[in-house]
Amino acid sequence: MAHSSSSRLVILAALGGNLLVAATKCVAAWISGSSSMLSEAIHSLIDTGNQALLLVGMRRAARPATLAHPFGYGLELYFWTFVVALLIFGLGAGISFFEGVMHILHPQPMAHVLVNYIVLGLSILFEGSVWVMALREFRRHGKGRLGWVEAVQRSKDPTVFTVLFEDTAALAGLFVALVGNVASEMLDMPVLDGVSSIIIAMILAVTATFLARESQSLLTGEGVAPEVLAALRRMALSARGVDRLNEIRSMHFGPRDVLVVISIDFHNTLSAGDVEATVSDLERQIKKTYPEVTRVFIEAQDNRSQPPAAS
């Protein structure tokens, strides 16, 4: 619950900030006529909508299980994260690219550039503070000692790394917009403002592609980490009366909602009562060691009817 609350706090901070920054950027883009500033305004508006969608996903994923959905609605969080990635790519990158091309084809000198500098500077400060919050949250609950790419790929909570990647893309876009504005004014080349808008579109496209890939992997069913699977295997093999582990399967239905299915071949000398006691003890041990495992199904079955154990 504490992890969920801290993730929601990061999302709320990003949502409120993006909404305020988006409004400011819209005014600055209207005053100056800057293509890159308009792209940044669109970027912030889309980010605001994305935070709202993540909150919707978290709320819907928390609904209790029903007869129609016996394993709950945890996968909805991954679905809404995938929708967020599509919006970043389709709207953010698409509109920014269109604006950049139009500004290159029909360059117009910017007016009141100082307004852009002020807005971009303040936006960098605020986005930077939200980025630091998201980074701390990711380090606390997701990264550990892993590398950045590996940590994202192994993370099962898309709310944290989605906000982190969005804010990283936002900061990169702000710096590109600032450089584009400065270069356009210093070199008297309005076309460079359009070029910076296209670069922002490319940043958004890369971010969206990476997020879509990760959320798609989660949505189609990821198992526990290899070290967790190895530990579960050791627990099963060390349980009383176990002759052989036939197979073990796991799947994340949410960041803190894991299903584990184990097929075990017990010694033929064990009574039905002994098997039941071993199964109960093993289930309690697994849930105590890994609280995120909410469901454990253990099947007693002759190994001759099973394929080799999963690696």
Q: What is the CATH number of the domain that holds 214?
A: 1.20.1510.10
Three-state SS for 151?
helix
Position 306 pLDDT exceeds 60:
no
pLDDT band of 20, cuts 50, 70, 90:
confident
Q: Same domain, yes or no, for 22 and 136?
A: yes
Percent of residues, the chain, with pLDDT higher than 70? 90
Structure tokens at 292: 């995120």
pLDDT by residue (tens digit) across 234-261? 999 999 888 899 999 999 998 889 999 9
Segments forming the whole domain that contains residue 242: 226-305
Contacts of 235 (CB under 8 A, 6+ apart): 282, 285, 286, 289
Do residues 159 and 250 both lie within one domain?
no
Would you report the helix, strand and coil content of the chain in percent, each value rounded to 5? 70, 10, 20
50 band by pLDDT with thresholds 50, 70 and 90:
confident
Give the model confidence (pLDDT) of 129-155 as tens digits: 878 877 777 777 654 555 666 666 677
Is residue 311 one of the residues assigned to a domain? Answer: no
Domain with residue 282: its CATH number is 3.30.70.1350
242-254 vs 293-300, strand pairing mode:
unpaired
In the predicted model, what is the mean pLDDT of the chain? 83
With contact defined as beta carbons under 8 Å apart, do 150 and 66 qualify? no
**pLDDT band (50, 70, 90) for residue 27:** confident
3-state secondary structure of 106: coil
Model confidence pLDDT, tens digit, residues 254-295:
888 999 999 999 988 888 898 999 999 999 999 999 999 999
What is this structure's pTM? 0.77
Per DSSP, the three-state class of 20 is helix
Largest CA distance in the chain: 88
Q: Quick one: pLDDT at residue 289?
A: 94
Chain segment 180-210, per-residue pLDDT in tens: 888 888 888 888 888 998 998 999 899 888 8
Element (H, E) at 311: none
Q: Are residues 114 and 19 in the same domain?
A: yes
Q: Which amino acid is at 55?
A: L
The last residue of one of the domains, among 220, 255, 273, is 220
**Dihedral of CA 222/60/164/142: which sign?**
negative
Mean pLDDT value across residues 213-225: 87
Q: Which of 182, 203, 220 is the last residue before a domain boundary?
A: 220
Structural domain count, the chain: 2
pLDDT band at 48 (very low <50, low <70, confident <90, very high): confident
- Give yes or no: residues 27 and 80 share one domain: yes
d(CA 259, CA 49) in angstroms, rounded, equals 32
Angle among Cα 114, 111, 121 to the nearest 5 degrees reads 25
**Within-domain flag for 137:** yes
pLDDT at 1 over 50: no
> Sheet harboring 293-300: ordered strands across?
242-254, 257-266, 293-300
The average pLDDT across 80-84 equals: 88
Backbone angles phi, psi at 225, to 5 degrees: -65, 150
Q: Report the chain's C-alpha Rg in angstroms.
A: 25
Instruction: Please state, in angstroms and rounded to a whole number, the distance separating the CA atoms of residues 40 and 152.
Output: 25
Whether residue 157 sits in one domain with residue 114: yes
Question: Which distant-in-sequence residues (6+ apart) come within 8 Å of 118 by Cβ?
Answer: 28
